[in-house]
Chain A
Amino acid sequence: MRTANRTYQLWFEIMESAANIPSPVSLFDLYVAMSLVFNMRGTQEALDYYEKVKAEIDERVKQKIPVVPGERLRLHYENMPLWYSFRKDRDFFASYGVNVLTNLYLYMFVNHYPDVSDPLEALSTEYERASLNIWGEVARAKIICELIERFSLNGFILHNVRTCKNSSGGLWHIAKLVTERTGIPGLVFDADHGDPRFYNEEYVRGIWRQYLEVIRK
Chain B
Amino acid sequence: MNRSEISKTFAEFLESPYEKLRKRKVTWGKMMVGHLMPGVPPEIIHAAGMLPVALLGSNKPVSKVDAHMSQSICSLMRSNLEVALSGDLYFMDGIVLNHMCECARSMSQIWYDVFPTRFFDVVMLPKKLDSSPVVKARLMEELSRFNTNLEDFAGQKISNDSLKETISLYNQGRDHLRKLYAIKRDNPQLISSRDVFSAIKSSVMMPKEEHNNLLSQLLSELESQVGNRPVTDNAVKVVLVGMVIEPLDILDIIEEVGGYVVGDNLSIGSRLIASDVRLDGDPKEAIIDHHLASPAFSGYVDPRVDSRQSLLKLVEENQAEGVIFVVLFQCDPYVYDYPDLKTALDNSRIPNLQIQTDLWTTSLMPIRTRLQAFVERIRGV
Instruction: Give residues of chain A (127-176) contacting chain B, Cβ–Cβ below 8 Å.
Output: 136-138, 160, 162, 165-166, 168-173, 176
Chain A interface residue count, CB cutoff 8 Å, equals 15
**Chain A residue, CB-CB nearest to B113:** A138
- Contact A170 to B69, CB < 8 A, known contacts A137-B110, A138-B109, A138-B113: yes
- Contact A169 to B102, CB < 8 A, known contacts A160-B72, A162-B72: yes
Most A CB within 10 A of own CB, among B66, B68, B70, B330: B70
- Contact A172 to B68, CB < 8 A, known contacts A137-B113, A138-B113, A165-B332: yes
Q: Bound complex: CA of A175 vs CA of B195, how far in Å? A: 43
- Contact A170 to B72, CB < 8 A, known contacts A165-B102, A165-B103, A176-B67: no
The range of chain B's interface size is 10 to 19
Smallest beta-carbon distance B221→chain A, Å = 46
Instruction: Give residues of chain B (61-119) contacting chain A, Cβ–Cβ below 8 Å.
Output: 66-70, 72-73, 102-103, 105-107, 109-110, 113-114
Partner of A169, one of B106, B113, B114: B106
- Contact A166 to B70, CB < 8 A, known contacts A137-B113, A138-B113, A173-B113: no
**Chain A residue, CB-CB nearest to B107:** A169
Q: Bound complex: CA of A213 vs CA of B365, how far in Å? A: 44
Smallest beta-carbon distance B207→chain A, Å = 33
Q: Bound complex: CA of A137 vs CA of B108, how far in Å? A: 10
Q: Which residues on A sit within 8 Å (CB–CB) of B73?
A: 165, 169
Most B CB within 10 A of own CB, among A162, A172, A176, A177: A172
Q: Which residues on B sit within 8 Å (CB–CB) of A160?
A: 70, 72
Q: Which residues on B sit within 8 Å (CB–CB) of A165?
A: 70, 72-73, 102-103, 106, 330, 332
- Contact A169 to B103, CB < 8 A, known contacts A137-B109, A138-B109, A162-B72: yes
- Contact A166 to B106, CB < 8 A, known contacts A138-B113, A172-B67, A173-B113: yes
Smallest beta-carbon distance A80→chain B, Å = 15
- Contact A170 to B67, CB < 8 A, known contacts A138-B113, A165-B73: no
Q: Bound complex: CA of A165 vs CA of B69, how far in Å? A: 10
B67 adjacent to A169 (CB under 8 Å): no
Q: Which residues on B sit within 8 Å (CB–CB) of A172?
A: 66-70
Q: Bound complex: CA of A169 vs CA of B106, how far in Å? A: 5
Q: Bound complex: CA of A54 vs CA of B55, how far in Å? A: 51
Q: Bound complex: CA of A171 vs CA of B106, how far in Å? A: 10
Partner of A166, one of B105, B110, B113: B105
Q: Bound complex: CA of A116 vs CA of B35, how far in Å? A: 41
Q: Bound complex: CA of A170 vs CA of B78, how far in Å? A: 11
**Can you offer 14 A-B residue contacts whose CB atoms are under 8 A?**
A137-B106, A137-B110, A138-B110, A138-B113, A165-B103, A166-B102, A168-B70, A169-B73, A170-B107, A172-B66, A172-B67, A173-B68, A173-B69, A173-B113
Q: Which residues of A contact B (CB under 8 A)?
A: 136-138, 160, 162, 165-166, 168-173, 176-177
Q: Which residues of B contact A (CB under 8 A)?
A: 66-70, 72-73, 102-103, 105-107, 109-110, 113-114, 330, 332
Q: Nearest 3 pairs between A and B by C-beta?
A: A169-B106, A136-B109, A165-B102
